[in-house]
Amino acid sequence: MTAIPVQRDAGLSFLEQDFAGEPGWVLDITGFDPNKLRVNASLFALANGRFGSNGASLATREGIRRWVVAGNVYVLDGPETHLLTGPVAMQLPYEMVDDPHFRRVVDLRTGVLYEEVDTTEGLLTSLRFRSLARPEVMIARAQCPTPARNAPLLLPPADDEVLDQGARGSASWMRVAANPGGIVAAATDVVDETGRRLDRISVYLADADRLPDPETALDDLEDATAAGVDRLLTEHCDAWATRWRDADIVIEGDDDLQVATRYALFHLMASVPDDGEAAVGARGLTGTSYRGHVFWDADTFTLPFLAATHPASARAMLEYRIRRLPQARENARARGRLGARFPWESARTGEDVTPTSARDRAGKLVPIRTGQLEEHIVAQVAWAASFYADWTGDEEFINGPGRELLVETARYWASRVRMESDGGHIFGVIGPDEYHEPVDDNAFTNVMARWNLRAAADAVELIDTPESAEAREWRAVADALVDGYDPDTGIYEQFAGFHKLEPLVIEEIAPKRPIAADLWLGPDRVHGAQVLKQADVLMLHHLVPDAVEPDSLVPNLRFYEPRTAHGSSLSPGVHAELFARTRDYDKALDALRIASRIDLDDLTDTTAGGLHVATMGSLWQALAFGFGGLRAHAGRLSIDPRLPHSWGALELTVRFHGSRVRVSIEHGSLHVDAERPTAITIDTLPYTVDSTGLEFTRRSRAWEVIA
């Protein structure tokens, strides 16, 4: 245990105890760079699933942007729809000096942010947290350089207008309206007898459908104030401890990756609530970029981690899709299809909010056709439902809304596939590799549609339902769908005609990778070349390994990866997972490091707008699926570990069918234990593990149980 001292000052009880952050559990950044101020604020964003805010310094400085958002609460319509920004409570009237001492530490174990900053009146030290135990509460405790003085408790929102505001006693409130919901914040200060220790207690209420009542916020504020910061902090830390108990990953032998991994898990957990519905935008609750729009990222990359560690949050994400099924049906009907068509970009209503044109980084006005053509999102929603069901065994979901999601998405594909004499085709789509559009018979879309149709048929054939008759049609369509697989080469053709495109091996010709090849070569050149933005065929091996031809991973990885620019922030994590499975550890670790540093090193130059939450999800997938070899299958947790030589050990904790399962991997040995009896599979052999655990040793390329 290494103590990381935070500047202490008399009267500041919490900070009088040195903040003892354990190695591997803290992000600690010291130094001031005015150009990095906004990136720094993003890196120290705090959220609790309901609300999020950036980690801008409590001290004032020109150019600092502070914002608060509430999950699910959107304003405006169409492509302009964005998360409503709320009043800001986290600021104090002390002005930062020009070139201050500036240190910030976030303790990932507890979700507490510590700050030291030089102001014109002296050093301002503080801690703050957005309560995980009481999601409406946000707290700052500060040791002020001079006695606290009167200043506004709440500042106007970053991007939206104040509707009304007022006061009750020493508390202030401020409200912002969406259409039709809103956010109300109430705040008060509690100052000690020295006048220098200040507790800023704030409460936020948000509602997507109606304006929240300021009186309720003020009542909640009184409750929080009565509880006091010490108790609120204890509750908050306990809540985080509970979350980590089911989700931690320990990597021995790579300290940087250890911190980056916990940083990713921390934000994945913080971005999603565990009840109601959760619209998880591309930046979660860590930024206002991408306007809070929900993409396939949420279903494909964020949800799996939660399904495997905190199912209630994954269920809330699915609830978001379930409540938009009526709109998805309308989306399908508007295109002359059956079933449900989920939109590429979704927000409040479930209508498609994808912009239709934009300027790219090269200054060119480009049409945006993802909303029209990137239809694999439909199968991703079904895949997410299935993934959740496989990991949780949630019968109520499986037999209720889960089945409905599978059925409605299958109906869409059945009506979308065109049956011709040579098979079923899906014409005019965009696959995950968005450099080519539109394309016919995209292997990813077709195989995912096929998987979707069969999964729905499996679901309805288990019991006698009105849909059972449809299942025969779904299976017929699935069986007919072409997928571009060539048994001679073992390679799937990414889409019809891909092999006839200009053969460019971008690994050999690009000045670097990752590279945004569409910007480097221009959209026309990449459109006509065998250059991929991210995994496309290989996404099948990543997501549905049982739905692709056996032993097809290696030939497809060898063919497609060198042709992949990795210009999507999702690409490195996926490839890390695939390289790990093929035990190509050097490439796996290279890709893993990129995925882990996307925001910590601002590799996209856009971290100031929020953190890449889906990339964080891909990092977890690389570790859990790739290195841990964890898969849920037929009610059993399959474990097939691969440990790089440079790591001493890897320990993963997940929840499987309601049981906490811990998988500890070392070179030549494997330990698995579970909270309660849990069915696992190792090397195709079934075992049941419980709290006493099972030990395995590696002999002759197979795991043998030794205890």
Partner 1 sequence: MTKVIAAIDNSLAARPVVLMATALAEVLGATVEPLHVSDDDGETARACADSLGLELRRCSGDPLECIRAAAEADDVVAVAIGARQQPSGHHVGHLARQVADVIDKPVLVVPPETVPPAHLHHVVIAMEGTPAKTRHLKAAVDVASSADLHLTVVHVDDESSIPSFSDQVAHETDAYAHEFLARYLHGAPRARLELRIGAPADEVIDVTDVAAPDLLAIGWPQSAGGDHGATAREILDRSHVPVLLVAIDSAETS
Which residue of the set 434, 493, 549, 561 is catalytic?
434
**CA–CA dist 63, 95 (Å, integer):** 12
Chain centroid to CA 146: how far? 41
Q: Does 629 engage in binding with partner 1 (CB under 8 A)?
A: no
**CA–CA dist 85, 62 (Å, integer):** 20
Exactly one of 97, 476, 515, 547 binds partner 1 (CB under 8 A); that residue is: 515
> What do you get for the CA distance between the two ends of the chain, in Å?
32
Q: Does 355 engage in binding with partner 1 (CB under 8 A)?
A: yes
- Residues 352, 354, 357, CA angle at the centre, nearest 5°? 140
Window 111-130: residues binding partner 1 (CB under 8 A): none
- Least Å from the CB of residue 79 to partner 1: 8
Asked if 502 is an active-site residue, the reply is no
* Binding range to partner 1, per CB under 8 A, among 51-59, 170-178, 508-516, 675-683: 508-516
- Least Å from the CB of residue 654 to partner 1: 28
**CA–CA dist 579, 557 (Å, integer):** 8
For partner 1, the closer of residues 374 and 467 by Cβ is: 374
Sort strands 636-639 and 678-682 into parallel, antiparallel or unpaired: parallel
Q: Tokens for 341?
A: 């068509």
359 to 292, 295, 519: CA distances (angstroms) = 20, 20, 12
- Least Å from the CB of residue 178 to partner 1: 20
Q: Does 516 engage in binding with partner 1 (CB under 8 A)?
A: yes
**CA–CA dist 532, 564 (Å, integer):** 4
Exactly one of 3, 151, 334, 362 binds partner 1 (CB under 8 A); that residue is: 362
585 contact partners, CB below 8 Å, separation of at least 6: 579, 642, 644, 645, 646
With helix as H, strand as E and coil as C, how does 407-449 read? HHHHHHHHHHCEEECCEEECCCECCCCCCCCCECCCHHHHHHH
Residue 275 near residue 316, CB atoms below 8 Å: yes
Q: How many residues of this chain interact with partner 1, rule: CB under 8 A?
A: 45
Q: Does 488 engage in binding with partner 1 (CB under 8 A)?
A: no
Query: Which candidate, 567, 597, 602, 561, places its Cα nearest to that of 579?
Result: 561
Exactly one of 12, 24, 27, 38 binds partner 1 (CB under 8 A); that residue is: 38
Exactly one of 370, 530, 621, 659 binds partner 1 (CB under 8 A); that residue is: 370
Exactly one of 145, 284, 304, 514 binds partner 1 (CB under 8 A); that residue is: 514
For partner 1, the closer of residues 4 and 516 by Cβ is: 516
Q: Does 512 engage in binding with partner 1 (CB under 8 A)?
A: yes
What stretches of 135-195 adopt beta strand conformation (E)?
A: 137-143, 162-168, 171-177, 182-191
Q: Does 567 engage in binding with partner 1 (CB under 8 A)?
A: yes
Exactly one of 2, 35, 150, 684 binds partner 1 (CB under 8 A); that residue is: 35
User: Would you tell me how many other CB atoms lie within 10 Å of the CB of residue 421?
Assistant: 4
For partner 1, the closer of residues 162 and 516 by Cβ is: 516
- Least Å from the CB of residue 63 to partner 1: 5
- Least Å from the CB of residue 606 to partner 1: 4
For partner 1, the closer of residues 32 and 520 by Cβ is: 520
* Binding range to partner 1, per CB under 8 A, among 170-178, 202-210, 288-296, 542-550: 288-296
For partner 1, the closer of residues 14 and 342 by Cβ is: 342
Residue with tokens 């050097």: 586
Residues annotated as catalytic are: 434
Q: Which residues bind partner 1 (CB under 8 A)?
A: 35, 38-39, 62-63, 65, 79, 282, 289-291, 293, 295, 354-355, 357-363, 366, 368, 370, 511-512, 514-516, 518-520, 566-570, 598, 603-606, 608-609
